Chains A and B, each alone.
Chain A
Amino acid sequence: MYSKEHKDYLKKIKLHNLLVKISQIFILVFFLVIWQFLASTERINTFIFSSPFKVFETIISLYQNDDLIHHIWVTVYETLVGFGLGCLIGITIASILWANKFLFKVFDPYLTILNSLPKVALGPIIIIWGGANATSIIIMALLISVIITIISVHQGFTNTDENKIRLMKSLGANKWQIFSKLVFPSNIGTIMSAVKVNISMSLIGVIMGEFLTSKAGIGHLIMYGSQVFNLNLIITGVFILCIVASIMYYGVVLLEKKINSKWD
């Protein structure tokens, strides 16, 4: 049993967190209400600024007439594939560069250049080479996430505690054992934060790709909206994107929590 003081303390924290949640919801509701109010009273032009009701209507009509679920699925699918490949390839290359310092030194300047290059610039090239299809979009997403993954994961690997490496060597470990039993597990935290960045990076890549060329996807809806000057469609697209992005992000956060909870 806790003391009364401790219970009060817990209550206070709970209250505080509740207040934060309420304020967050309030801001959203307030924003939507003001927006709708301005639109209904015709203080803003709904042709340009749309309105919450119109967004809602557009979602319903997209769902009924244009296979909204398919568009969402295409974007999610491309993002997840790009994300998965980005993590896998990035971590693999980081491991190889950790194991071979010579290779790392050789590739270091190229990685730096590729990292600072805005990958959008490569978009047209990828599409011309790879064709106007989902593969090109996935490559785009992959390119955006893979370089930064390599750099940050490799950084973590090389910062592994020197004393622990010495201990492993003194116990007779070979290089693979040092990697699999020490370097990799001690960097789960670094890897998870790279993974968290990656999911957003991949989505950026996919939307960029869908802007450039696509037959479906949320980016496609937004692009189509801008071509036919349908602001409703654009704003609805952005709104759906917000939801999809946060669901995917929290998915990764949940995964991270699950992995961390295994540790202690």
Chain B
Amino acid sequence: MSVLKIKDLRKTYHTKKDEILAVDNFSFELNEGEFVAIVGPSGCGKSTILQMICGLDKKSSGEIEVPLNIKIGFMPQGDSLFEWRNVLKNCLLGLELTNNVTKENKEYVLNLLKTYGLKDFIHAHPNNLSGGMRQRVSLIRTLATKPDILLLDEPFSALDYQSRLAVSDDVYKIIKKEKKSAIMVTHDISEAISMANKVIVLSNRPCTIKNIYNIELENKSTPINNRKDKKFAYYYDLIWKDIDYHV
């Protein structure tokens, strides 16, 4: 079942000096439970696409169709935790803003925190957490409002390579366990292949779809294990050749 349909999406930014065509001719469909990764050279318009999907940016033309009962949650670049709130209060932010801090919802958030290894840090402040923990808190903050689709904008870009691997494993498991559909923007090809069912490769600006790959690994398991799959290198080469890195 499709939870998101995008047709001929287009975005032009107007600045004093120039008119920038950031996204052009972008169409695709997200099915329930799918994990889609979007890769592309930096500055091509990946964040713009996500921001249009969740309504933070106006589209210039095209269509974004979301069924009425489908809710979208957004995780911005970096973790954007509020240092002056403790972990629980950070996670309750979305509910607080919409006046939904009910007992059940709070229970739900507390459960998420306990399930994903943050039990002892519920009242800690973000600056006492590791990069990986912060990322999990950020994800739980988005999950707290019970979205059906998660939009992740380079969720791991602030982490060093080691924790990046571990955290992407964690985040992947959480998303699968909570049965969410997801669109993740990244410029790390391996990350995209190891996590997604589908990888959309974008061209340089204005970004249009260059190719869409269905990732069919021999033994699909967690992101870290997927990196050892026989077909991993095959997809890596294909996508690497697609992206114009000489900019």
Contacts and interface: CB of A to CB of B under 8 A. Distances in A.
A170 B75 CA distance: 9
Nearest to A171: B94
Contact of A167 (B80, B125, B128): B80
A263 B86 CA distance: 9
A168 B78 CA distance: 14
A168 B97 contact: yes
Contact of A171 (B51, B77, B125, B145): B145
24 contacts: A163-B76, A163-B77, A166-B51, A167-B74, A167-B75, A169-B56, A170-B55, A170-B76, A171-B93, A171-B94, A171-B97, A171-B98, A171-B145, A172-B94, A177-B97, A181-B82, A181-B96, A182-B82, A185-B82, A185-B84, A186-B82, A186-B83, A186-B84, A263-B84
A161 B77 CA distance: 11
B41 interface: no
B127 interface: yes
Interface in A170-186: 170-173, 177, 181-182, 185-186
A166 B83 contact: no
Question: What does DSSP make chain B's interface, helix, strand, loop or mixed?
Answer: loop
A263 to B, nearest CB: 5
Nearest to A166: B76
Given A181-B97, A263-B125, A264-B127, A170 B82 contact: no
Interface residues of B, number: 23
B6 interface: no
A167 B93 CA distance: 10
Contact of B84 (A167, A168, A188): A188
Interface of B: 51, 54-56, 73-78, 80, 82-84, 93-94, 96-98, 125, 127-128, 145
Interface of A: 161, 163-164, 166-173, 177, 181-182, 185-186, 188, 263-264
Contacts of B98: 171-172
A185 to B, nearest CB: 5
Contacts, number: 54
Given A166-B74, A168-B93, 17 more contacts: A161-B80, A164-B76, A166-B56, A166-B80, A170-B55, A170-B74, A171-B97, A171-B145, A172-B94, A172-B97, A172-B98, A173-B97, A181-B82, A181-B93, A181-B97, A185-B82, A264-B125
Contacts of A181: 82, 93, 96-97
Nearest to A188: B84
Contacts of B76: 163-164, 166-167, 170
The 6 closest A-B pairs by CB, nearest first: A170-B74, A171-B94, A163-B76, A164-B80, A163-B80, A173-B97
Nearest to B124: A264
A182 B96 CA distance: 13
B78 A163 contact: yes
Contacts of B54: 170
A163 B78 CA distance: 8
Contacts of A186: 82-84
B31 to A, nearest CB: 22
Nearest to B79: A163
A164 B82 contact: yes
B129 to A, nearest CB: 12
Contacts of A263: 83-84, 125
